[in-house]
Amino acid sequence: MESAMLVDSVTSTSSTTTTSSSSSSSSSSTSSSSSVSESYETFLTLLLKQLETQDPTNPVDTTTFTTQLVQLSGLEQQMTTNDKLDELNSTVSDLASSVSSSLGSGSSAINYYGKTVEAEGSTTPLQDGEATWEYDLDSEASSVTLTITDSSGNTVYSDVSSSTDAGTHEVTWDGIGTDGSSYSSGTYTLTVKALDANGKAIDTTTRFKGTVTSVDSSSGTAVLSVGGVSLSSDDVLSVS
């Protein structure tokens, strides 16, 4: 009813995709804005110098001066427009980056759907008549007791394991309780109690395995559901 065997430790690798965006449009806009600003300052300097050095007996022609003021006003409006365009371009760029990051996370996480994943934890669902865990013993044990409880904390299975060596061990429960009762669904938790020859507790680490039944990235962070047990995609140790 319970099987445990020594297995190789699982090593997982993950790939990180880095995205980059071109800043040529932003650079072009900045360059254009700088050019207009310089033209405005130069025009204003020349106009003031012209007023300062004009001959009082022969002042600047009114029509010419009016035309110059209109040109100065046009440059000022263009500078304001360029500043607004720079702000708009920055906002759109930030929004595009945020959307791209969100979509990238969601599309990557969807690849987990239907796959068997392994993550740290002791609670896993009973899927296809089986619940699977792995546990690590820091050192060799004299005795190892395995206890499985349901979601309400009731003990449904308990046994003494023959796998007492230091290292990684796998436990697969077939859904048959100690009293012979059959369980077909729900989530179950494995507790490992390991003692050394002196009766002292040995540190253990437990992981669970299960098939991903749904993926939710609506919050911006991909959350996987393994038969009702939720975990972040970042917590996945291996995929098979």
Indicate the pTM of the whole model: 0.56
Residue 58 has φ and ψ, to the nearest 5°, of: -145, 70
In terms of C-beta density within 10 A (0-12 exposed, 13-18 middle, 19 or more buried), how is residue 102 classed? Answer: middle
pLDDT surpassing 50 at residue 4 = no
pLDDT for res 14: 36
- Is the residue at 52 inside a domain? no
Question: What local confidence, expressed as pLDDT, does residue 58 receive?
Answer: 66
Q: How confident is the model at residue 218 (pLDDT cuts 50, 70, 90)?
A: confident
Instruction: Classify residue 44: in a domain, yes or no.
Output: no
What Rg value do the Cα atoms of the chain yield, rounded? 35
Give the pLDDT score at 162. 85
CATH number reported for the structural domain that contains residue 192 in this entry = 2.60.40.4070
Total domain count, the chain: 1
Cα gap 225→33, rounded to integer Å = 51
Whether 163 maps to a domain, the answer reads: yes
**Which letter does DSSP use for residue 121 in this model?**
-
Distances from the Cα of 168 to the Cα of 7, 89, 116, angstroms: 6, 54, 18
Ranges 11-15, 24-28, 95-99, 190-194, most confident: 190-194
Query: Are 79 and 37 within 8 A, CB to CB?
Result: yes
| Residue 112 domain-assigned (yes or no) | no
Above pLDDT 70, what percent of the chain? 65
Question: Which residues are within 8 A (CB) of 73 and not within 5 positions of it... i.e. 6 or more apart?
Answer: none
pLDDT at 103: 38
Helix (H) or strand (E) holding 184: none
Asked whether residue 20 is assigned to any structural domain, the reply reads: no
Confidence grade of residue 208 (pLDDT, cut at 50, 70, 90): very high
Query: Does residue 92 lie in a domain region?
Result: no
139 or 85, which is more confident? 139
Domain assignment of residue 193, given as a range: 117-211
Lowest mean pLDDT, pick from 8-22, 42-56, 121-135, 203-217: 8-22
Confidence class for position 21, pLDDT limits 50, 70, 90: very low
* Residue 121: per-residue pLDDT: 94
Q: Would 220 be classed as within a structural domain?
A: no
Instruction: Determine, yes or no, domain membership for 166.
Output: yes
Residue 123 sits at φ, ψ, to 5 deg, of -110, 130
The pLDDT score that the predictor gives to residue 221 is 77
| pLDDT of residue 20 exceeding 50 | no
Residue that wins the pLDDT comparison between 63 and 107: 63
